[in-house]
Amino acid sequence: MSLPTVELGSLRVSRLIAGGGPFAGISHQSPALNRAMLDYHTTARVLETLHTCVAAGINTLLARADAHIMRLLHEFRGEGGQIHWIAQTAPEYRTVEDNVRRAVAAGADAVYLHGGVCETLWSEGELAELERLLAVLRATGRPCGFAAHDPRCHLDLAPRLAVDFQMVCLFNCGSLHSGGGEHFDPADPAAALAAIAAIQRPCLAYKILGAGRYDPAVQFPRVFGEIKPSDAVVVGLYTEHHPRQVEDNAALVRQCLADQPVARS
């Protein structure tokens, strides 16, 4: 069963996108939960989850461009699985150029600049370097974008940078990359949603559940009620204690979008 889709440049993606953070043990909650996610997400379980996503109408995975994800997708495709991959640049690689080259070789369908990198360059006024890195992404010929946690960064950069989409975090938790800890202020989503509404290009809203802190039955209707018809959401998947999480999330999205207008191509 398919889900409604939107366009990111030449790529058509489902309005619910699977987030790969939990596959890599990234919980944004605690070291203990990080370990539990790593223990649970064997290769077999990740592949099973991806097949379930496709069956539920989720046609896109957003995940880091690291060796772990590249290997998982190689095996998934070897089993006949087909899913779009939006690749996040991984800062641990020597250069963005090297990382992007590897991601494209591994089948990335779109690429975007890591939020911590983008936000740091913006806050330091290094816009020339930011533009240089985005030029690397554009040179792949794939749809490209950038992420950031601070809605002020998105609003400032939106008219200044040529990209196909922006990754807007619902929580201004840049502290995740600065060593400041996990901060998910319930007052943050209002500013992020207002920024998404003001940005003319497609936006992908992420961390809409506050890394598991908020109820999907509340957040999905709120977010889909305020984002544009050309936008989508990214939600991480961890099915150990919620075996039908993929199907339930997809059903929630269908319910939220049932009476909404569709994006114009």
DSSP string of 124-167, one letter each residue: TT-HHHHHHHHHHHHTTTS-EEEEES-HHHHHHHTTTS--SEEE
Rounded to an integer, the average pLDDT of 231-241 is 96
Rounded CA-CA distance 52/221 in Å is 23
Mean confidence (pLDDT) of the chain? 93
Rounded to an integer, the average pLDDT of 64-76 is 97
Tokens 């207008």, located at residue: 261
Whether residue 30 is predicted with pLDDT greater than 90 in this model: the reply is: no
Higher pLDDT, 178 or 121: 121
Rounded to an integer, the average pLDDT of 219-236 is 97
Of 208, 211, 185, 180, the residue nearest 33 (C-alpha) = 211
Rounded CA-CA distance 95/45 in Å is 31
Domain 5-257 has CATH 3.30.300.30: no
Of 149, 145, 171, 141, the residue nearest 158 (C-alpha) = 145
Q: 237: left (phi > 0), else alpha (psi -120 to 50), else beta?
A: beta
pLDDT per position as a tens digit, 77-117: 999 999 999 999 999 999 999 999 999 999 999 999 999 99
Q: Tell me, what's the pLDDT at 142?
A: 98
Whether residue 262 is predicted with pLDDT greater than 70 in this model: the reply is: no
Tell me, yes or no, if the pTM score tops 0.85.
yes
